[in-house]
Structure 1
Amino acid sequence: MIHRIPSYILKVLTTSFVAWIILSTAIPQIMSKYSEQEIQTNVYKKATYPYNSITSPTPLPIQNSTVYFIIGHPDDEVMFFSPSLVEIAKPKNGNDVKLVCFSTGDSVHESMGRIRSEELRQSARILGIDSDNVTILDTFKDGMNVTWDSNEIRDTLKDIVGVGKSQRPVVLITFDENGVSYHPNHISLYLGTVNFIKTYKNSDYKLFVLKSLTFWEKYSFTLLTNVELFVDHISRWIFNNIEIDINISFFTKSDIPNLSSIKFYSDLNMLSVSYAAMCYGHYSQMVWFRYGWLVLSRYLTFNHLIQLN
C-alpha cells in the first residue's frame, strides 16, 4: 500500500494540472472567440492580439501607470510575482513596469553577485521588461540573517522613484509584513516601503503588497486555483443569464474596481513564460529543490495583491 502513495500523488497532480489547463486556458480562449468582436471579424484595431486575462476585479485597476516591483533578490520577480508582473506588463494595460532589486544575491559569495545580476536582466527580458527598467543595488547584503535599515530603504526609493506629483500614476508593489516565509530581507522591504509612503504621503503613490500564503496554500499546486476557476466559470454561465442578484464568483466585476485587493491568475501561456524566466534566466539557481518549487508553488499561478492605505 505504501509503495503506491507516490503513484497516487503523481496521478492527483497530473489530473489537477490538466484540469487547470482546461479552466485557465482552454475555456477562456474558446470563449474569447464568442466575446471578442475583433476575433470574430478578424479586423483588429490594435497591433496586439487580444490577450486572455483572469483578474479580480476586471478590468485590471492598474493601467497607464508607472509600476515599480520592489524585490530583494534576483529571482524574486519570478518565484513570487510572476502572475501579477506578467499581467501588469501586458501591452493592453499601458503600464511602464520597472524592477528594483535591493541586492545582487551574493549571500553565497560576492562573486555570485555579477552572475545573478545578469541573470535578473535575462529573466526580465523573457518576462517582457526592458533591461533599462531594471535597477540592481549592491549596497544591501543578501542574507537570511540580515535585516536592512528601513530609513536606508526609504531614502533609496526616494532617489529611484522620486517625490512629488508624477505625470502618470505611480504604483509600488512589494512583499507584505510576513515577507513570504518570513525572509528578513523581504520584511525589511515591506517596512522600508511603508516608511517611504508614510514619509512622502503627499506624493499620492499607491502601495500594494503580496499576500503571504500559508504553507499548505503555498504548495497547493493548482488544486485551490481549480476550485476558484471552476466556481467562476459556473457562476458566469448560470447566473449571467438569469436575473438573480447573487454573487458566488471569485472574480467580481465592477464598473468601479475595488482597489483594496487584486487577484491574478496565470494561464498556461503565462506559466510557460515564468518557467522560461526561472529555468533559463536564473540558471545558477536551478538546484534540485527549485524544480519542486516550480511544480508545487501556487505563487507561479496566483498572486493576491492588497492595497495599503
Structure 2
Amino acid sequence: MPDLMKRSYVILIAVILMQTFNQLSKSANRQFVDRLISQVGDGEDVTRIAFIIAHPDDESMFFTPLLEYIGSCPIIKNIHLDLLCLTRGDYMGQGDRRTKEMMEICRKYSMNCIIDNDPSVKDGPDDWNIEAVSHRVEDFIRSVNAKMVFTFDEHGVSGHPNHKSVHKAVKRMKSRYKDIRVWCLRSHGILVKYFPPYVIVKSFLNPPSISRFSPLDVGRNMAIHKSQQRWYTIMWVLFSSYSYTNTFDIMVE
C-alpha cells in the first residue's frame, strides 16, 4: 500500500507539472502572437516574415520551434515565409548537396527560399564584408516586402563567426531601413544551452518566446540534412534548448 501511494503521488505531481507547463506555454505563446501582430500590424498587413541565416541547416537546428508553431497557429499560419541563406554551406565542399537538402526543408514549410552563392561571402572562418552583406539583406527584404525579420543575435547562438556576421549585417541594414522589425534569437551559455528545463522556465519570464516540444521535428529536419549527420546529432536533438523553445530579443535602432 505505501508503494502504491508513492506511485500515486509521483503520478499526481507529474500531471500537475505537465498541466502547469502547458498553461505557461499557452500563455507565453499567446503573448508571442500578440507581440508579433503588434509589431507588423494586423489584418491584411500581416503578410510576410523573413528569416536571415548563414548556412543550410541553421533553420532546423535553431528555429524549428518557431517554424512549427507558425504552421500550427490559426492566427498566423497564413503569414508567408521567406528565407535568405547567405551561403551554400560549402566549407567542406558539399554545397550542392546542402542546397538540395535546404530546398526540401523549404518545401516542407512552404517557404520561399533564396540560397546565395557569392564567392566573397564564404562558409567558414573568413571575415565577411558587413556593408556589402547588409545591402544584400536589404535587397532581399525589399524584394519580398517583408515586415519582419528573424535572425541571430550578436553571439550567433553557436558562436559561429558567420552567424555573428549575419547579425551585424542585419543590424547595419536596419540602420538604413528603420521601419523593419528585427527579432534576434537569444543565445545561451554553453551549460544552460544543454539544460532545456532551465531555459524553458526562463523563457516564460522573458517574452517574446515560443515554447513547443519539438525534438521529433528537429530530428526529422536533421534527417533531411543528411550531409550534416554526425554521431552527436541525436544528442543535440534531445538536449539542445532550441528543440524546445525560442526566445527573442527585439533589435532597437
Both proteins in one fold, TM over 0.5: yes
Aligned counterpart in structure 1 of residue 210 of structure 2, from 250, 261, 264:
264
Superposition deviation, residue 227 in structure 1: 4.7
Could you tell me whether the CA contact under 8 Å between 1:101 and 1:137 is conserved in 2?
yes
The equivalent of 1:105 in structure 2 is: 89
**Is residue 198 of structure 1 aligned with residue 175 of structure 2?**
yes
The equivalent of 2:18 in structure 1 is: 23
Cα deviations by residue, 1:37-58 (Å, 9 ceiling, x for unpaired): xxxxxxxxxxxxxxx7852625
**Is residue 86 of structure 1 aligned with residue 71 of structure 2?**
no
> Which has the larger share of helix?
2
What is the correspondence of 1:148-227 to structure 2 with a 5 Å cutoff? 148-162=128-142, 170-201=147-178, 204-220=179-195, 222-224=196-198, 227=201
Q: Any unmatched runs of 5+ in structure 2?
A: 1-9, 38-45
Could you tell me whether the CA contact under 8 Å between 2:219 and 2:234 is conserved in 1?
no
Matched position secondary structure for 1:288: coil
The equivalent of 1:292 in structure 2 is: 235
Could you tell me whether the CA contact under 8 Å between 1:56 and 1:263 is conserved in 2?
no
Superposition deviation, residue 91 in structure 1: 5.5
| Cα root mean square deviation, aligned | 2.9
- After TM superposition, the score normalised by the length of structure 1 is 0.65
State how far apart, in whole Å, the 2-side matches of 1:303 and 1:184 are.
Answer: 21
Pick the structure with greater CA Rg: 1
CA 1:119–1:80 in structure 2 vs 1: closer, same or farther (change >3 Å)? same
Matched position secondary structure for 1:103: coil
Identity of aligned residues (%): 27
Superposition deviation, residue 181 in structure 1: 3.1
Matched position secondary structure for 1:61: helix
Could you tell me whether the CA contact under 8 Å between 1:68 and 1:173 is conserved in 2?
yes
CA 1:196–1:84 in structure 2 vs 1: closer, same or farther (change >3 Å)? same
Q: Any unmatched runs of 5+ in structure 1?
A: 1-14, 32-51, 230-249, 253-260
Amino acid at match of 1:181: S
How many corresponding residue pairs?
A: 225
Amino acid at match of 2:92: V
Could you tell me whether the CA contact under 8 Å between 1:56 and 1:251 is conserved in 2?
no
The equivalent of 2:220 in structure 1 is: 276
